[in-house]
């Protein structure tokens, strides 16, 4: 979308200094990559030196930025929060696609399913018996919505998403391509040399404003429900096992794996490739660093890393001690090498 700098400033409440406010903006880019007719922003003061060299037509920057910080051809747009202002402008420059509100004749919709107003179902999607979809949902090509599934309003299912029978989604849920929600949990009992499946008869509940990445899998509960709380964001390739309960506004980064019946409280961050054992609890606002292995409960606001995961400061002390031990081992080896010579020089008794 093409829009003037003046219009963008109005969207984000920016003060305009210098440049030509009537110039048009066609797209956005980073500070050091932007060119004419592009918008950029200064999100970190350490990059302020790039303001003079950027070729962008407009720059969003903090209100304390002096007028002369940019070149004469660039509009300086001063705002309280450049990142949030940039997001608002991006949403205008790159408006999200919306569903057509039509039901493609190549989709299969069970006669007992109920669809809200302006809901779009694309070709080769399949909606099962007694499923209910709210208003303005968008089910893209190749999705499978099972029997008795319930979607709130404004949900978006990208291509080839699978929602097993009985899964429930709140409002404004986004599920990216290839994700599977509600497949059987991994539950078996060993008897007489064979693994006997424990029937997985629970469900999955995804609360409102959750976003789930591509090829992520969230298993249904053995009994009861697996639940993902309000506003939580889950990256690609994440595995959430049966009966896991994830609180509100947590972040699960790529390739995280969570064992069964674990509780993740509100505002937890699990960085990339973390592994969390079953039946543990992670406290609110806790941070688990990348590639850590959580094997026991973590307190609220704690920051842990390593395997088994321990408090970050403790882990760093242990690493420092290991390095010191390695240095001492070298010195000890040198002493052992010199010992025969020292014995030869020792005075006879």
What count of other Cβ atoms lies within 10 Å of the Cβ of residue 197?
Answer: 10
Is 243 exposed, middle or buried, given 0-12, 13-18 or 19+ CB atoms closer than 10 A?
A: buried
Whole-angstrom Cα distance, residue 295 to residue 275? Answer: 9
pLDDT in tens, the chain (349 residues): 899 999 999 999 999 999 999 999 999 999 999 999 999 999 999 999 999 999 999 999 999 999 889 998 999 999 999 999 999 999 999 998 888 789 999 999 999 999 999 999 999 999 999 999 999 999 999 999 999 999 999 999 999 999 999 999 999 999 999 999 999 999 999 999 999 999 999 999 999 999 999 999 999 999 999 999 999 999 999 999 999 999 999 999 999 999 999 999 999 999 999 999 999 999 999 999 999 999 999 999 999 999 999 999 998 888 888 877 777 777 777 777 877 776 666 665 5
Whole-angstrom Cα distance, residue 170 to residue 137? Answer: 11
Cis peptide before 205 (omega within 30 of 0): no
Give the contacts of 223 (CB within 8 A, at least 6 positions apart). Answer: 201, 202, 243
Whole-angstrom Cα distance, residue 58 to residue 69? Answer: 12
Q: Which of these, 92, 83, 91, lies nearest to 31 by C-alpha position? A: 83
Whole-angstrom Cα distance, residue 158 to residue 133? Answer: 15
Residue 319: per-residue pLDDT: 83
Whole-angstrom Cα distance, residue 135 to residue 154? Answer: 6
The owner of tokens 């595995």 is 239
Label the pairing between strands 38-41 and 239-240.
unpaired
Please report which helix (H) or strand (E) contains residue 150, including its range: strand 150-151
User: For the chain, how many residues are written?
Assistant: 349
Give the global pTM: 0.89
Displacement of CA 336 from its chain's centroid (Å): 53
Residue 3: per-residue pLDDT: 95
DSSP, collapsed to helix, strand or coil, labels residue 290 as: coil
- Supply 330's token pair: 């070298």
Is 240 exposed, middle or buried, given 0-12, 13-18 or 19+ CB atoms closer than 10 A?
A: buried
Whole-angstrom Cα distance, residue 307 to residue 259? Answer: 16
Residue 168: per-residue pLDDT: 98
Decide if 27 contacts 9 (C-beta within 8 A).
Answer: no
Residue 349: per-residue pLDDT: 52
Residues noted as catalytic: 242
The owner of tokens 């789930």 is 212
Residue 100: per-residue pLDDT: 78
């Amino acid at each position: 979308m093409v829009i003037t700098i003046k219009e963008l400033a109005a969207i984000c409440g920016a003060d305009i200094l210098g440049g030509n406010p009537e110039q048009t903006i066609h797209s956005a880019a980073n500070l050091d990559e932007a060119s004419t007719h592009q918008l950029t922003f200064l999100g970190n003061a350490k990059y302020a030196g790039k303001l003079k060299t950027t070729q962008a037509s407009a720059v969003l920057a903090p209100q304390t930025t002096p007028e002369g910080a940019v070149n004469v051809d660039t509009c300086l747009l001063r705002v309280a929060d450049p990142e949030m202002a940039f997001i608002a402008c991006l949403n205008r420059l790159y408006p999200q696609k919306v569903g057509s509100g039509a039901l493609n004749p190549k989709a299969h919709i069970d006669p007992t399913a109920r669809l809200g107003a302006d809901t779009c179902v694309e070709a080769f999607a399949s909606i099962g018996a007694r499923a209910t979809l709210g208003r303005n949902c968008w089910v893209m090509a190749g999705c499978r919505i099972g029997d008795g599934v319930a979607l709130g309003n404004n949900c978006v299912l990208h291509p080839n998403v699978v929602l097993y029978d009985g899964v429930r989604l709140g409002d404004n849920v986004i599920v990216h391509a290839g994700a599977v929600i509600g497949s059987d949990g991994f539950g078996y009992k060993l008897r007489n040399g064979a693994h006997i499946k424990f029937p997985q008869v629970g469900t999955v509940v995804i609360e409102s404003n959750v976003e789930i990445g591509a090829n992520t899998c969230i298993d249904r509960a053995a009994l009861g429900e697996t639940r993902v709380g309000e506003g939580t964001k889950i990256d690609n390739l994440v595995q959430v096992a049966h009966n896991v309960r994830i609180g509100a506004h947590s972040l699960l980064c790529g390739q995280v794996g969570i064992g069964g019946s674990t509780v993740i409280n509100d505002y937890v961050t699990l960085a990339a490739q973390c592994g969390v054992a079953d039946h543990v609890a992670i406290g609110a606002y806790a941070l688990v660093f990348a590639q850590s292995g959580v094997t026991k409960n973590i307190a609220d606001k704690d920051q842990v890393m390593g395997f088994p995961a321990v408090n970050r400061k403790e882990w760093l002390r242990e690493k420092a001690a290991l390095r010191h031990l390695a240095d001492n081992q070298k010195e000890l080896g040198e002493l052992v090498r010199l010992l025969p010579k020292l014995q030869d020089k020792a005075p006879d008794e």
